[in-house]
Each structure stands twice: as C-alpha cells, then as structure tokens.
Chains A and B, each alone.
Chain A
Amino acid sequence: MMRGLWAAATGMACQQSNLDVVAHNLANVNTGGFKKSRISFQDLMYQNLRAAGAETASGGQIPTGIQVGMGAKVVSVDKLFLQGDFASTNNPLDMAIEGKGFFKLLNNNREVYTRAGTFRLDKDGYVVDTSGNRLQPEFAVPPATVNITIDSGGKVTASGSDGRELATTQIQLFDFANPAGLRSLGNGYFIPTDGSGEAVQGNPGDDEFGTLLQGFVEMSNVDVVEEMINMIMAQRAYELGAKAIQTGDDMLQQANNLKR
C-alpha cells in the first residue's frame, strides 16, 4: 500500500504523545518544584527509490536521487530544569534553590532527589518533606527551638527564646551532569540513571550549586501560554496528518474504482 499513509500515521502518533506531555504539564501548573517536560521529534529513516549518481537510460547521471521518508518519531521526552518562579510562604523551613541542585531525601530506604523545598518537622523534630521523608543528611531541631534561620549558603541555625544557638547544620545540595537524564518517580522525586550520571554533593553557593532562599518555595516552571500554544500546534499537526491519510484513502479508492 501507499508509503505516505504510514508516514502520515506516524506523524499523528507523535502528536498524540505531544498532547499527553502538554496535558501532564498543564495538570502540574501549580505543583511546587515541578519541572515541565518537553517532547522532541525526529524524522524516521528514508527509502532510497533512486540513488544519486546512478546512470539514466540515456547515459546521463542523476545528480540527486529520490528519497522518500517514512514519517516522524518521538526521540525524547525530557525534563526542562529551568528555574521556576519563587513564592513567599514565610514558613522558616521552606527553601527554594536559586540555581542548580537538588535536595536529597530518604524514601523507603531509597535515596531520591527533589527540587520541592517545602519542609516540615516530624514528631521527633527531624526535617521532613510534605510526605514525611527525611531530608538528607538528617537533622533534628532541638525541642526548645524558637527560631530557625537558613542562610543562602545552606547553614541552618536553630536558636532558643534567649537567642542562644542550640544546634547548627549544613544543608547539602546534589547535582547531576545531565539532569534531563534523571528518572521521574512522581511526587516531584527523581532518581539517577546511567544517562544522568552520579550525584555530586556540595554546599549551596559553591561551584555549580545554586543558593538557598529561606521562606520561599519554587513554583512549577510550566508556562501556561506556552503550553496552550503547544496544544494548538499539536492539534493542528494532528489534523494535518488526518488530512494526509484522507487524501491517501481517496487515491486508493480511485484506484479500486478503475475496475467497474
């Protein structure tokens, strides 16, 4: 049957995935620390109907051959770790990372990484995220603490009512050579893969690591207008594929009608 029918169908399949990604991004427009995904397409292989340089019947040489493409495919859906906006919360344990880096948490004895810096204290005084997973390295705030300050370099100071320092710790950030290669687990958690490379540890503000902002959370980096435009493009491109299939169908119908 016609090559073009399949080429058009692959294009439609791509746009379907495109819409899936847009829908997921839009659903998380208000999820703190969420990083939007991006889909990328590539053209599929080509069928060489006539090779360039071949000889014609009259003895000449064909300067350019005929290549018919087989359509498009999805090559990657990766996370874009662009900075999200900051929202002030006034919660002393909320931290936003301005720049690169992830917090490390222990979830069911597994190390996971996140950008969502909404932290609370659990019943034992440990710093935990909203799902109750402890921030690594673990830190317990003494019970007499009244005031917690976190500076941009990640130094946490817990002080009592008389202003005396009760405990201090240093928050660690972690970064990856290729954050786009991290695997998303949902809940804003990521785990490293072979593609992302191993986690590199460091203090906020050092080398490549971003600085911390106390009392702020990083919001989702989804841009609604951009996603709407992507959605329109996906819909129209899908329509285009459908039209191409219709045309191919018309052609085949005419061929079939030759024999009456």
Chain B
Amino acid sequence: MGHFQSIAALGALREEKRYSVIANNMSNSQTVGFRKDNLVFRQVIDQVSNRLGSEETGRGLISFQQGELQTTGNALDVAIDGEGFFKVATPQGIRYTRSGRFELNNDRILVSAAGFPVMGRTGEITLTGKNISIDKDGSIRVDGNPIDQLSVVTLPAPHLLKKEGQTLLKSDDPQEEMEDPESQVIQGSLESSNTNTVEEMMKMLDSLRVYESCMKAIQSNDELNAKAVNEVGRV
C-alpha cells in the first residue's frame, strides 16, 4: 500500500473512533450526570519523514459543561449548579461524580445509585428521621438538626480525570481537592446528561462524510495504481 493510501486509512480509522465516542454520547443522552466526550485530532507533520499523520495527537476531552437541571421533587435527588463534584467511596477508593441520584441503603447511609457511600465533610452520612433538607451549600438537616455537609469539591485539573463507567470519574494522580463555595447544591433536582443531541448528530454526519472521503481517497489511489500497472506498460 502506498504512502497516500495509508494516510487515508489512518483517517478512516480515526473517524471510526470518533464515531464510537459519538455513539456513546448518544447512548447516554438520558444518563443522569453523564459528561460527554470529545475526540480531538490535530494534523502534524513528522519532521523526519515529512509524513502527514494525525493519530499521534488524538486526545479525548471530557466536556464539563453544565447539564440541564430537571426537577424531580425527591428529597434525596441533588444537582450541582457549578463546577464541583460529589465524592463517593468505592472499594477501589474515592471517585468523583456529577450524578446526585442518591438514596438510603438498609443501614440508612446515603449512597449513590450504584450503592457507594456518598462522602460528607466528616465521612459517610447516616440519616435517620422524617424530613431531610439539603441547603444550597450542601448542609444536610434532618428534622431541623444539622447532620453533615455534602462534600462538593473542585479539582485543579478536571481534564485529567478518567472515566470509569457508572458516571464515576477517577484521578490517577491524587489532585488537591478544594471545597467549592461557588457551586450550589439544589435539592429535588437532577442534572441531566450534557449530551447535546443536535451537536452529536452534526458531529456524526461530519464523521460519516470524512470517513467517506477517506474511502474515496483510497479508491482513487487504487484506480491510479491500476492504471499504472495495467495501462502504462501496454504497447
């Protein structure tokens, strides 16, 4: 395969990855607290061989754009308006999440939808009583008595977070957490996925067409080769 064709094939493979990322965003358009991914490629010229390539600079970027807030009216549904994250304790360690779909487990400990304890300022939060109210700063009151405060933190480098599934984000290198006074916790609401369906459709169309162009490029090149092989040498 010629040099030209291999570039076009690389482009097609790249678009296939982009398409997969878009499909995942679309599948999670109804997932509470989901953050969409963007796959960004930059074209570079390898200095040594003067070859074009794009694969080396591919980057996945998680978009932390605010999702829309949906009112549900459940006392244990909370949404963050701002840049902070909730902290949950999984058996593998602390994870961050934007999904505030919490409930009580059979020990009355506040847990995420997947059953991991949600962290307050003083650790796990146990709630016994009738009326649970959560203030904008995350303070939890049960029947008027202050219990704890939801830990809502910002990180210096959220773009280094890795997705783990279950709307959990993980930091490979420990980052210094900061309490976030700007973020507001809103009780009785959930933050929906920040997938924008129009945008994803556009990106998908774009990806499909670029893929098509790459295929055409391979085909044209193949036709040239065919001419060279079958016709140039003909007497």
Do B105 and A177 touch across chains, with their CB atoms under 8 A apart? yes
Do A63 and B160 touch across chains, with their CB atoms under 8 A apart? yes
Asked if B65 lies at the interface with its beta carbon under 8 angstroms from chain A, I say: no
Do B29 and A240 touch across chains, with their CB atoms under 8 A apart? yes
Q: How many residues of B contact A (CB 8 A)?
A: 66
Do B24 and A251 touch across chains, with their CB atoms under 8 A apart? no
- B60 to A: closest C-beta gap in Å: 4
In whole angstroms, what is the CA distance A196 to B107 when docked? 9
Residue of B nearest to A13 (CB): B27
Interface segment, one of A70-78, A123-131, A134-142, A166-174: A70-78
Do B106 and A64 touch across chains, with their CB atoms under 8 A apart? no
In whole angstroms, what is the CA distance A255 to B159 when docked? 34
Q: How many residues of A contact B (CB 8 A)?
A: 72
Residues of A within 8 A of B30 (CB): 14-15, 18, 41, 72, 233-234, 237
Do A8 and B31 touch across chains, with their CB atoms under 8 A apart? no
Residues of A within 8 A of B114 (CB): 42, 75
Most chain A beta carbons < 10 A, residue from B23, B25, B61, B160: B23
Residues of B within 8 A of A177 (CB): 104-108
In whole angstroms, what is the CA distance A248 to B27 when docked? 14
Residues of A within 8 A of B61 (CB): 64
Residues of A within 8 A of B27 (CB): 7-8, 10-12, 14, 43, 69, 71-72, 241, 244
Asked if B164 lies at the interface with its beta carbon under 8 angstroms from chain A, I say: yes
Do A43 and B74 touch across chains, with their CB atoms under 8 A apart? no
Asked if B148 lies at the interface with its beta carbon under 8 angstroms from chain A, I say: no
Partner of A7, one of B24, B106, B172: B24
Do A247 and B208 touch across chains, with their CB atoms under 8 A apart? yes
Do B39 and A66 touch across chains, with their CB atoms under 8 A apart? yes
Do A244 and B23 touch across chains, with their CB atoms under 8 A apart? yes
Do B165 and A243 touch across chains, with their CB atoms under 8 A apart? no
Do B74 and A4 touch across chains, with their CB atoms under 8 A apart? no
Residues of B within 8 A of A109 (CB): none
Give per-residue flags for A229-258: 1 if the beta carbon is below 8 A from chain B beta carbons, else 0.
000011011001101100110110011011
Residue of A nearest to B76 (CB): A180
In whole angstroms, what is the CA distance A250 to B99 when docked? 34
- B96 to A: closest C-beta gap in Å: 14
Do A247 and B162 touch across chains, with their CB atoms under 8 A apart? no
Residues of B within 8 A of A45 (CB): 164-165
Give per-residue flags for A183-211: 1 if the beta carbon is below 8 A from chain B beta carbons, else 0.
00000000000111100000000011000
- B12 to A: closest C-beta gap in Å: 7
In whole angstroms, what is the CA distance A176 to B28 when docked? 32
In whole angstroms, what is the CA distance A49 to B56 when docked? 12
In whole angstroms, what is the CA distance A66 to B57 when docked? 10
In whole angstroms, what is the CA distance A195 to B114 when docked? 12
Asked if A87 lies at the interface with its beta carbon under 8 angstroms from chain B, I say: no
Most chain B beta carbons < 10 A, residue from A15, A82, A247: A247
Residues of A within 8 A of B24 (CB): 4, 7, 43, 68-71
- B78 to A: closest C-beta gap in Å: 14
Residue of A nearest to B111 (CB): A178
In whole angstroms, what is the CA distance A195 to B23 when docked? 34
Residues of A within 8 A of B165 (CB): 42-46, 69-70
Do A66 and B60 touch across chains, with their CB atoms under 8 A apart? yes
Q: Which of B1-50 contact A (CB under 8 A)?
A: 12, 15-17, 19-32, 34, 37, 39, 46-47
Residue of A nearest to B157 (CB): A63
Asked if B197 lies at the interface with its beta carbon under 8 angstroms from chain A, I say: yes
Known: A4-B20, A43-B166, A207-B130. 5 other contacts (CB 8 A): A11-B26, A42-B114, A45-B164, A70-B24, A237-B26
A–B Cβ pairs within 8 angstroms, 26 of them: A7-B20, A7-B27, A8-B27, A11-B26, A14-B30, A41-B31, A42-B31, A52-B160, A56-B57, A64-B59, A69-B20, A69-B25, A69-B27, A69-B163, A177-B107, A180-B103, A197-B106, A208-B128, A240-B26, A240-B197, A244-B23, A251-B15, A251-B16, A254-B215, A257-B215, A258-B218
Nearest 10 Cβ contacts at the A-B interface: A11-B27, A69-B24, A4-B23, A197-B106, A4-B20, A3-B20, A45-B165, A71-B27, A7-B23, A41-B31
